[in-house]
Amino acid sequence: MLKKTFLSENHRQIGARMVDFHGWELPVQYGGIIAEHRQCRDAAALFDTCHMGQFLVEGVHAGADLSRVLTLDAEALSVGKCRYGLLLNEQGGILDDTIAIRLDANQYLVVVNADTATRDFEWIEAHLSSDTTMTNRSTDWGKLDVQGPASFRVLADAIDFDLASLKFFSGRRGKCLGTDAIISRTGYTGELGYEIFMPGVALPKLFSHLLANAAAAPAGLGARDLLRLEMNYPLYGSDVDADCNPVEADLDRFIKRDREFIGAAALRRIDARGVPRKLIAFQCNTRRRPDAGSDIVCDGRRVGNVTSGAFSPSLGTAIGMGYVAIEHAVAGTELEIRAARKSLTAIVRDKPLYKGGTCRTRNAELKQ
């Protein structure tokens, strides 16, 4: 039986098309994927992300423990700051990608992907000090995300502090419609956005409140995938997994080599020998979508495979990501995508493909 989020009934009431997403019943679309994508780029979109895992890690050694388990330096985070990081195994393989928020001196919230949440919890817990505690809040707390250039205007009146004071990649405790919550400003769309973590029973009220704003509308998994692909954010299970490492996944910029953490020794060995492939972004000369798994060819020879592909409404052409042999991972390289019905011409591009996002809007500009 599929697991349901705290907002499942709300989605049904407004006509969402529901699908199985890693064992969760989630909306893939409401009126249409492209319309929902544009809603996020132009105004504000609401995303149900209650399926994601939430772990509260507490104790005087919580920062040191997380710094050892994750690639991010949790101890160096100031209170109220967020950071993206990876959970690696001893071989340097990516077990998951995460966001960590330092809530106070000895307390962190770690957000993980839905399909890896159980494994992640067990892995992290096994590496904690005896006086560090970790609570899985994934069953009683949920998450609703507001993403888009109008998200500040949509959300501000529901929060009990000045939302304009929340800088990019920051988070803090507060009240949302009178209920205790954690509000962060990170995002996965390239646009200004906020994530509201709160008890699940309070989320339907918040969802209805936000939808009453003319600038807000719901968006599903289809739009979310388009938006993150335009930004070239890798999707766990599609673009990255335990069989790839951060260097070939082009995520090594999130890792400081002078730190020790699980997988650090393996990464030093990988650095020394180099990687044979790299995860690249590409843009096609057509609207036809390149399917995941399609071969990538150069000069008649297979050099890699597509991991994600879609038509980009923002760019007006098909785009994608995939692994190619390292010598073909240079921006400007022309490739051929062997799609099921037709071969497509593609060009390797610098990341991100979409560069018009509002995610770094300055606080002073939010109230203008």
Q: How far apart, in whole angstroms, are the C-alpha atoms of residue 292 and residue 280?
A: 14
* H helical segments located in the chain: 8-13, 33-42, 62-69, 117-126, 151-155, 203-211, 221-230, 264-273, 363-366
Q: How confident is the model at residue 256 (pLDDT cuts 50, 70, 90)?
A: confident
pLDDT for the residue numbered 1: 87
Q: What is the value of pTM for the model shown?
A: 0.96
Of residues 364 and 191, the one with the higher pLDDT is 191
- Going by pLDDT thresholds of 50, 70 and 90, the confidence category of residue 178 is very high
Q: In what order do the strands lie in the sheet with 193-199?
A: 170-176, 179-185, 193-199, 141-147, 44-48, 216-218
Amino acid 340: pLDDT: 75
pLDDT tens figures, 317-344:
999 999 999 999 999 999 999 987 789 9
Residue in 184, 200, 193 with CA at minimum distance from that of residue 219: 193
CA separation for the pair 9, 16 (Å, rounded) = 10
Give the per-residue pLDDT at 257.
86
CATH hierarchy code of domain 54-136:
3.30.70.1400
Tell me whether the omega of the peptide bond preceding residue 352 falls within 30 degrees of 0, making it cis.
yes
Tokens of 66: 């997380």
For residues 313 and 73, what is the distance between their CA atoms, to the nearest angstrom? 37
What is the reported pLDDT for 221? 98
Q: Tens of pLDDT along 110-126?
A: 999 999 999 999 999 99
Q: What are the pLDDT digits (tens) for 41-87?
A: 999 999 999 999 999 999 999 999 999 999 999 999 999 999 999 99
3-class secondary structure, 313 = coil
Tell me the pLDDT of the chain averaged across its residues.
Answer: 97
Q: What percent of the chain has pLDDT over 70?
A: 100
Q: Identify whether the C-beta of residue 120 lies closer than 8 Å to the C-beta of residue 107.
A: no
Is the pLDDT score of 238 beyond 90? yes
Residue 368: is its pLDDT beyond 80?
no
Per-position DSSP letters for 179-194, written without gaps between them: EEEEEEE--SSSS-EE
Residues 36, 222 contacting (CB under 8 angstroms): yes
Fold that domain 3-49+140-230 belongs to in CATH: Gyrase A; domain 2 (3.30.1360)
As a whole number of angstroms, the distance between CA 51 and CA 149 comes to 24
* Closest to 123 measured CA to CA, from 52, 73, 57: 57
Per DSSP, what are the bridge partners of residue 87?
70, 96
Cα angle 41, 311, 331; round to 5? 95
Contact 192, 354 (CB under 8 A): no
Assigned token pair, 197:
């973590």
Cα(14)–Cα(18) distance, integer angstroms: 11
Q: Where are the domains of the chain?
A: 3-49+140-230, 54-136
Position 342 scores a pLDDT of: 85
- Specify the pLDDT at position 83: 97
Residue range 182-233, pLDDT digits in tens = 999 998 999 999 999 999 999 999 999 999 999 999 999 999 999 999 999 9
Provide the pLDDT for residue 70: 98
Long-range contacts of 121-124 (CB under 8 A, 24+ apart): 121/53, 121/55, 123/69, 123/87, 123/95, 124/55, 124/57, 124/66, 124/69, 124/87
What tens digit of pLDDT does each residue of 258-282 get?
899 999 999 999 999 999 999 999 9
For 48, 127, 281, 297, 339, the CA distances from 347, given in Å and listed in that order, are: 34, 43, 8, 12, 15
